[in-house]
Structure 1
Amino acid sequence: MKMKNRVTEIFNIKVPFIQGPMNALTNPEFIAAVSEAGGLGIMGPNAGNAKVSRSPIETTERMRVEIKKIKQLTDKPFASTIMVSDDISYVTYIVDMLIEEQVPVVLINGLLDKALFDKLKSHQIKIIFRPLTPTIQNAQAAEQMGADVFVATGFDEGGTVPERVIGTFSIVPMIADAINIPVIAAGGIGDVRGVRAAIQLGAEGVYVGSLLIPTIENPAAENVKQYIVDSNAEDLILFRTLPAYYRSLPGKLAKELEAMDQEGASREEIAQHMGAGRNMRLGMVKGDTENGYVSVGTGISPIKEIRSVQAVIDDLMQDFVEYNSKNP
Structure 2
Amino acid sequence: MNVMKNNNRICDILGIQYPIVQAAMSWITDAKMVASVSNAGGMGVLGPNAGAEFEGSKKISTEERLRNELRKIKSLTDKPFAVNIFSPDEGTDDTYTQTVLNIFLEEGIQTFLSVGFVNKKLFRQIKDHNATLIHRELTPTPEAAKMAESEGADIIIATGYDEGGWIPQNQIGTFSIVPTIVDAVDIPVMATGGINDIRGVRAAFALGAEGVYVGTRFIVSEECPASDITKQDIIRSKAKDLVFVSSLQRSTPHKLARELESMYKNGMSPDEEMSLRPGMLEGKLDEGIVSVNTAINVITEVKSCEDIVKELMADFIK
Q: Which amino acid aligns with 1:196?
A: R
Do residues 44 (structure 1) and 47 (structure 2) align? yes
Match of 2:177 in 1: 171
Q: Which residue of 2 aligns with 1:265?
A: 267
CA distance, structure 1, for counterparts of residue 152 and residue 221 of structure 2: 34
Cα distance between partner residues in 2 of 1:131 and 1:61: 28
Distance 1:205 1:158, change over 3 A: same
Distance 1:111 1:60, change over 3 A: farther
Please report how far the alpha carbon of residue 106 of structure 1 lies from its aligned counterpart in structure 2 after TM superposition: 0.4
Q: Name the SS for the 1:8 alignment partner.
A: helix
SS in 2 for 1:130: strand
d(CA) in 2 for partners of 1:51, 1:226? 19
Match in the other structure for 1:326 = none
CA distance in 1, matches of 2:176, 2:4: 22
Is 1:310 aligned with 2:312? no
Summarize deviations over 1:55-82 as a string: whole Å, max 9, x none. Answer: xx93233212210110000000000111
The CA deviation at 1:102 is 1.4
The residue matched to 2:10 in structure 1 has which SS? helix
Q: In structure 2, which of residues 67, 74, 87 is the aligned counterpart of residue 71 of structure 1?
A: 74
Partner of 1:222: 228
Asked if the contact 1:148–1:182 (Cα under 8 Å) also holds between the matched residues in 2, the reply is yes
1:196 matched to 2:202: yes
Indicate the larger mover: 86-95 or 204-213. 86-95
What is the DSSP-based 3-state SS (H/G/I as helix, E as strand, rest coil) of the residue aligned with 1:137?
helix
Secondary structure of 1:245's aligned partner: coil
**Structure 2 counterpart of 1:325:** none
Give the Å deviation of 1:51. Answer: 6.8
1:84 Cα offset (Å):
4.1
TM-score (norm 1): 0.90
Cα drift, residue 122 of structure 1: 2.2
- Of 113, 116, 133, the residue aligned with 1:107 is 113
Identity of aligned residues (%): 45
- Structure 2: give runs of 5+ residues left out of the alignment: none
The secondary structure found in structure 2 opposite 1:39 is coil
When residues 41 and 149 of structure 1 are mapped into structure 2, their CA distance, relative to the original with a 3 A threshold, is same
Residue type of the partner of 1:245? L
Whole-angstrom CA distance in 2 between matches of 1:116 and 1:295: 28
Q: CA deviation at 1:179?
A: 0.5
Contact 2:29 2:224 in 1 (8 A): yes
User: Cα distance, 1:302 vs. partner?
Assistant: 0.8
Is residue 2:315 matched to residue 1:319? yes
1:23 shift after superposition: 1.8
- Quote the residue 1:289 is aligned against: 285
Give RMSD over aligned pairs. 1.7
1:16, distance to aligned residue in structure 2 (A): 0.6
Contact 1:105 1:127 in 2 (8 A): yes
From 153, 156, 162, the counterpart of 1:150: 156
Shift of 1:88: 1.8
Asked whether the equivalents of residues 212 and 218 of structure 1 are also in contact (C-alpha less than 8 Å), the reply is yes
For structure 1, the 5+ residue unaligned runs are 323-328
1:124 maps to 130
C-alpha contact 1:84 1:90 (8 A) present in aligned 2: no
Residue 83 of structure 1 and its aligned partner are, at CA, apart by: 3.2
TM-score, normalised with respect to structure 2: 0.92
How far does residue 2 in structure 1 lie from its aligned partner after superposition? 4.4
Q: Which moved more, 1:69-78 or 1:224-233?
A: 224-233
